[in-house]
Structure 1
Amino acid sequence: MAASTSTNQHGLSFDSSYRHWKVFLSFRGEDTRKTFTSHLYTALKQAGIITFMDDFGLPRGEEISQQLIKAIQGSEISLVIFSANYASSPWCLNELVEILECKKRTGQLVYPVFYNVSPSVVRHKTGRFSDAFESLEKRYVSNLDKVDKWKAALTEAANLSGYDLQNDADGYEIRLIQIIVNKVLLEVTAGGSNIFL
């Protein structure tokens, strides 16, 4: 059976047989849920990409749910949207650790997106990230290994090739969304040549 080819609104052709590819969005809800992340989610869906963005129906707590772990593990690509308050959420940090484990185990593609926070702030845990970790170290004083794991995950993720709202899109959200969607579509049309190597 021949694969059908479609052209998306961005002018890129893609093989619709790759629509089973899944993208997971990791983000701090209070920072970007109603703005950048929801717009990115919509653009990916419109491009024919199955995209997981957690909703208010998921139970919240310190640990991420099995449902969320399955969504991460079932994705070929994770987009980690770093924003000012990302590091203040143990939930987000646990998601990030799981995402990076999937990267190691299965070759999942992981792209950091720096939304009004510079890669160096994330990498070196300065500014609000430093404040967040001061608070986390007090809160998890009996489990500092977990805090160290979160710090290492942030450093690892910040060292990956990704996207910066200010540097890559001159602060224009829609421009950055177009860049990211086109990158995802290029990975999809490549047929997963970078996956599971």
Structure 2
Amino acid sequence: MLGSSSSSPPPAMKHDVFISFRGKDTRDGFTSHLCTALRKRHIETYMDDRLVRGEEISPALEKAIEESTIYVIVFSQGDASSRWCLDELTKIMDCKHRFGREVIPVFFMVDPAHVRQSDRKYEQPFEKHQQRYEDKVQGWRSALYQAANLSGWDSRAFRPESILVEEIVEDIWTKLNSQSINDNGGLVGIDKHIEQVESILHGDSADFRIVGIWGMRGIGKTTIAHALYRKLAT
């Protein structure tokens, strides 16, 4: 079953961005370009590159979603026909509500109004799903409606496509840098550790320094490194 108790603490962050998409529609085009552009900006991006998928999303993929700060949902023509995409979407919206995560919809060559209103292209797949996945369809519909009604990007308004990619990357970069460090993974009191590492980096006795951050798993090592990078790179 997707999701967990609302009383569960937020998991430590491992990825800055999780991209949800239908591989058949955008894997070799828009989504791959977006992922490459994000990684060039040193934004830790999770993109599921597997070509073969099972009936349900795996526990490893659920974990990747939980450990991501921002979600980019790429809506395309065939995503409602994919049970995998709908399960991903439901998990993402669950994390948004439980942990206050940011969700950015991208309407790739589809009319946002058609997605929000579940026009015939979206209604037909749900009618097919109803026969086999009756217990899930209502949740899928709700997640789709909520995500599609968030403020996002309409690809039809951008030419060439590279401009859209640049705009989305810049938007994500700004959102990541504007977030409070204390909200990043729920790690309260991490400011002091960041200041300590920064003071070492800014020492006067060397032209360059290599600083190792050591500690047990889950205490915020990656969070410290990401926060320092964003602070020093801007």
TM-score by length of 1: 0.81
Listed as ranges, the gaps of 5+ residues in structure 1 are 1-19
TM-fit CA distance, 1:187: 1.0
Map of 1:129-168 to 2, 5 A cutoff?
Answer: 129-138=122-131, 140=132, 143-167=133-157
| Secondary structure of residue in 1 paired with 2:28 | helix
CA contact (8 A) 1:165 1:172 kept: no
Separation of aligned partners in 2, 1:136 and 1:110: 25
**Distance across 2 between alignment mates of 1:30 and 1:173:** 18
Change in Cα spacing, 1:90 to 1:21, as seen in structure 2 (3 Å) is closer
- Once the two structures are TM-superposed, the CA of residue 172 in structure 1 deviates from its matched residue by 2.9
Tell me the equivalent position of 1:89. Answer: 82
Q: Is the 8 A contact 2:15 2:46 kept in 1?
A: no
Rg: which structure is higher?
A: 2
Cα separation, partners in 2 of 1:194 and 1:36, compared to 1, 3 Å? farther
Alignment pair present for 1:80 and 2:70 = no
Q: Cα distance, 1:191 vs. partner?
A: 3.4
- Matched residue of 2:27: which SS? helix
What root-mean-square deviation, in Å, do the aligned CA atoms of Structure 1 and Structure 2 show?
2.1
Aligned-residue identity in percent: 45
Q: TM-score, normalised by structure 2?
A: 0.69
User: 1:174 corresponds to which letter in structure 2?
Assistant: S
Match of 2:160 in 1: 172
Pair 1:42-2:25 in alignment = no
Cα distance, 1:118 vs structure 2: 1.3
Q: Which amino acid aligns with 1:136?
A: H
String of CA shifts for 1:121-145, please: whole Å, max 9, x gaps.
Answer: 111111321221122123x2xx423
Aligned mates of 1:112, 1:118 — CA distance in 2: 12
Residue in structure 2 matched with residue 60 of structure 1 by the alignment: 53
Distance 1:194 1:165 in 2: 34
Tell me the alpha carbon deviations over residues 107-162 of structure 1, each in whole angstroms, 9 at most, x when there is no partner.
11001100011111111111321221122123x2xx42311110111100011111
Of 165, 170, 175, which aligns to 1:182?
Answer: 170
Cα distance between partner residues in 2 of 1:192 and 1:22: 14
Deviates more, 1:148-157 or 1:129-138: 129-138
SS of the residue 1:55 aligns to: coil
Residue matched to 1:112: 105
Q: Which runs of 4+ in 1 moved over 6 A?
A: none
Q: How many residues align?
A: 173
Unaligned runs of 5+ residues in structure 2 are 1-13, 187-234
Residue 90 to residue 77, structure 1, CA distance change in 2 (3 Å): same
Name the SS for the 1:113 alignment partner.
strand
Aligned to 2:17: 23
